[in-house]
Structure 1
Amino acid sequence: MTQVTHGGRPRTRRPAPYAVLLVPAMLLTGGLAACSGDVTSTQAPLPSPSAPAGGTTGPSATEEPRDDLAALDPGDAAALSTPQADPVYPAYGDPSVDALHYDLDLTWDADERTLTGIETVLLRVTSDADVVDHGRVRLDLAPTMAVTGAAVDDVEVEVEHRGDDLLVPLPAGTAPDDLVTVTLAYTGTPTPVDAPTTRSDLPSLGLTVDPEGQLWTMQEPYGAHTWYAVNDHPSDKARYTFTLQVDDPWTGIANGVQTSSSVADGVRTTTYDAADPMASYLVTLAFGDYTETVVDGPRDLPISLWVPAGAEQYVDDLERTGAALTWVEGWLGPYPFDSAGVLLVEDSTSGMETQTLLTLGATAYSTSPATLVHEMVHQWWGDLVTPADWRGLWMNEGMAMYLQLVWEAEDDGRPLDDLLGDYVLTEQRLRAEAGPPASYDPDQFGVSNVYLGPALMWHAIRQEVGDAAFRDAVRAWPTEQAGRSVGRDELVSWWSERTGTELASLFDAWLDGEQSPAIDLD
């Protein structure tokens, strides 16, 4: 076991390293936009952006057809998506743009409660480009984040910030599948938004500031837009790189592999690379007084446990993460990412399957083995393969809940059918209150109707196709769909073909029925 410690509260605000000092210069030049829902326009100088590999630069009009995708960096090419409009939460996401790579350079001032960012995002204009708003694409960005400078392909532009919508002009002549690199400078105090749910553990979404000035986020189904400009929808996966700066001894933490950590002039800078395509709701971020404990996972995979000062009592619980992951691998195969870890946050009682780095509230249940199993299952079912829109939340939660209950039955030495029987009446009540799993009430996001009904459905499918075919399909589905966002029809068709059993009617009954189907539990 290895421990790396970053302790104590930041003492006084110090100047950031030279590269970050470019941002205040832009603020002075461009002015500070109002933190309100009013329409604001911003045009201000920016430093020359360092475009992610595959980005384009040059004149605003193109005289000859381009073939940007042919030269796209393989890492960014893996993030090519088919963005969709959402039928449940249509205010977020724009199908006319496909984000491939977000590079986020963020500085947190805990005393002033101010986040300052330079964001560079590589975008592919999709085949729907002819319907964009007057030659503009839309990114989601909360009005509390004031844009102070913008450029497209190294050319300064004026953007319009209209509520949660940031409208970015495209170069003249932009055609479907052209790539553009958007660079934004922005600043503001992160403010979470109300969550569309009745769940008591999820009152708000997005970047949250605790009383000590520490930051953390949980942002499903939308909430990433509270701290960076984003196509905030699960159908658009992207690669992420992070540069995080905060006064030492605090530290910044994000998804992916930590590629560097250094201190200069009293400021700690950490960098992370999340190389595998990731949906925006699966991104996590924290700044604070954290200690990292590294434990071994399966096949000597290092698992980083990030625990804030004052919550050290949870370290022993979290050290069981390796055992939980080993059990899950028995069902789903080798862990699919390059890094693994847990980020503990004190002001939450919830838990989130943020990709490569679980975000868990500091409670006995959130850090329990059952929760660790559940959230680790999501690394395959939800993260590696993701629903194409929010009607598909059941795809994530049903399998994670089912395998959690399989683990609980084994751990308790209890027959699985007996344990599942405890939930039948509860599932029927929740279906009546919040709707069928695939057409739930949009104001009751993430209520247990999307957990229990689909969990029982998977057990019914296991009974229908047999144990061997079921386990084969459970393991093969996320592996074969790795990096994708997938809809219900494709999943149902794949499962029917893989198992050699027509399953459409069974899926339909469980996912759409006003009444719960009967299930045979011995």
Structure 2
Amino acid sequence: MRRTAPAALLAALALAAPTLAACSSEPAAQPGAAAAEDPYAAAVSDPREDSLYPDVGDPGVDALHYDLDLAWDPDARELAATEVLTFRATTTAESFRLDLGEPLEVTAATLDGEPVDVAREGKDLVVGAPVEADARHELALDYAGTPQPVPAPSARDDIATTGWHTTPTGETWTMQEPYGAYSWYAVNDHPSDKAFYDVAVEVPSPWVGVSNGELVSRTEEAGTTRTQWHLEEPAASYLVTVATGELEVTEEVSAGGTPISYWTPPDLAPRRLANLRVAPDALTWLEERLGPYPFSTLGFVVVDGDSGMETQTMVTLGNDAYTTSEPVVVHEIAHHWYGNQVGPADWSEVWMNEGMTMYLQLAWEAEHGGRPLQEEMDEIAAGDAASRAYAGPPASFDPAAFGDGNIYYLPALMWHELRADLGEDAFWSMVRAWPAARDDVATDREDYWAWLEEETGTELTGFLEAWLLGERTPPVDAAG
């Protein structure tokens, strides 16, 4: 996700600190894992109730595949959709529930081909049908309405709301971290539950709909453009994107052979498109440190927003100078290893995504004409106490301050300290090995910390607890 530029953010925290203080080893077994011929085996998850946002998501549902057919009418501001969800029940129950925004009305529902009753409890869609633990089912829904974004648990202006956004002229885009996918489809909206996606989008021509993965087809008929997208790797719901509008596509291929596409509005400033096209070189730089890119395609869609998001294989970027800058492009690509290939099973673990990608971004900047990395680290260290006082430690932050600088910069400084302790070879070997060790898995700090100790042969629990859970700044090595 996009974040404020380091110097500005840390200076702001340092100034605000007095006022704010006055105011206030092995991966887990995947249950029900099927035989290798099971096309959804990689999406079998161990869903959890979130420790910070327990009202979103249901651990009783393990989503395996979402098939979404979306038709957007920009004049009426209406979404008409058909959804088929293949899922595994994780418990035996008389009913199950999904998250679905209240403005969307379900007009038809079947479970395994039979009509089924659904009821609304706020944003919860309750399906009144019995399910048995580990059994697989297919839920089909027709629904329609005017999607509305949902309030975000954050003090950041650029993510005041999440989910589906509509511009004054009817274009749409989605960003939904830590939740908000439910604003436009019925979903188990939690990062512990990864699933496959097929998404079709219909919009009036010459507009086009963009989503994740490979563009399977694009057709135009009777004034309507229909695109079909296939995501061949499981994704968490917050990493799914849909954007509609008049978008032009530019295509190229990285040195390693990854197809890259840029979906941009016709009036995008040439400099911003040029910034996006650092992607092939950035991808090569990251592959040298992290290993082969873990997905088959990479894309970018520029929308009328103020933030940016590492949506899987199709990065969503707001149309401003910072969000379309080269450092942000590098940051969001890096998330495809840290966050997308391996991600958090609980939102208290978002530091796992953001700390390493921020460190990689700052390292890239230092090598490409930016400030020396140690100068950046010294500045972060100077602002560490203010950041902890305002938003909390990186792994025990204030739930109302999601996405603040503490989850980005403080873990980045932690990694820099560990790099000095371990040495270059051991540190970068560790950084490279982790995503591949937990490919397509959502995990937690206990698993990560145990793996780090085993991988490095070093006792790290005290170090990690101090940096990630401590209320005070840990000792920092002198600048060098």
Give the alignment's TM-score, normalised by structure 2. 0.91
Count of equivalent residues:
448
> Which of 277, 284, 287 is the equivalent residue of 1:319?
277
CA 1:459–1:149 in structure 2 vs 1: closer, same or farther (change >3 Å)? same
Counterpart amino acid of 2:355?
G
Alignment match, 1:438 = 395
Counterpart of 2:280, as a letter, is G
1:343-382 paired onto structure 2 within 5 Å? 343-346=301-304, 348-382=305-339
1:187-202 pair list within 5 angstroms? 187-202=144-159
2:117 touches 2:129 (CA, 8 Å); kept in 1?
Answer: no
Counterpart mapping for 1:33-52 below 5 A: none
Offset of 1:68 from its aligned partner?
A: 9.1
1:225 maps to: 182
Distance 1:273 1:494 in 2: 33
1:13 aligned partner: none
Pairing 1:247-258 to 2, within 5 Å after superposition: 247-258=204-215
Distance 1:70-1:86 versus aligned 2 partners, 3 A rule: closer
Please name the residue that 1:80 is paired with: 44
Matched, 1:238 2:202: no
Tell me, in whole angstroms, the C-alpha distance in 2 between the residues paired with 1:97 and 1:190.
23
**Contact map agreement 1:405 1:420 (CA 8 A) in 2:** no
**Contact 2:35 2:41 (8 Å CA) reproduced:** no
AA aligned opposite 2:292:
P
Q: Distance in 2 between matches of 1:91 and 1:82?
A: 17
Distance 1:420 1:244 in 2: 44
**What are the residue-to-residue correspondences of 1:63-212 with 2, within 5 Å?**
70=34, 74-126=38-90, 129-130=91-92, 132=93, 135-171=94-130, 174-212=131-169
- CA deviation vs aligned residue, 1:382-423 (integer Å, no higher than 9, x gap): 000010100001000000111111111112365422321122
SS of corresponding position for 1:344: strand
Question: C-alpha separation between the residues in 2 aligned to 1:478 and 1:166?
Answer: 34
Give, in angstroms, the shift of residue 426 of structure 1.
1.8
- Map of 1:358-507 to 2, 5 A cutoff? 358-412=315-369, 414-507=371-464
Residue 69 of structure 1 contacts residue 177 of structure 1 at CA under 8 Å; is this kept in 2?
A: no
Distance 2:84 2:370 in 1: 52
Deviation at 1:202, TM superposition (A): 1.1
Distance 1:204 1:182, change over 3 A: same
Give the letter aligned to residue 339 of structure 1: T
Question: What code does the residue aligned with 2:123 have?
Answer: D
% identical equivalent positions? 47
Q: Secondary structure at the match of 1:496?
A: helix
Q: Take 1:475 and 1:505, find their aligned partners in 2: how far apart are those partners? A: 23
1:306 equivalenced with 2:263 (yes/no): yes
The equivalent residue for 1:63 is none
TM-score by length of 1: 0.84
Does structure 1 residue 336 correspond to structure 2 residue 294?
yes
2:317 maps to amino acid: L
Q: What is the alpha-carbon root mean square deviation over aligned residues?
A: 1.5
In structure 2, C-alpha distance between the alignment counterparts of 1:338 and 1:214, rounded to whole Å: 28
CA distance in 2, matches of 1:427, 1:325: 30
Distance 2:220 2:35 in 1: 36
Which ranges in structure 1 are unaligned for 5 or more consecutive residues?
A: 1-66
Shift in alpha-carbon separation, 1:71–1:121, aligned structure 2, 3 A: farther
Shift of the alpha carbon at 1:71?
A: 7.1
1:68 touches 1:179 (CA, 8 Å); kept in 2?
Answer: no
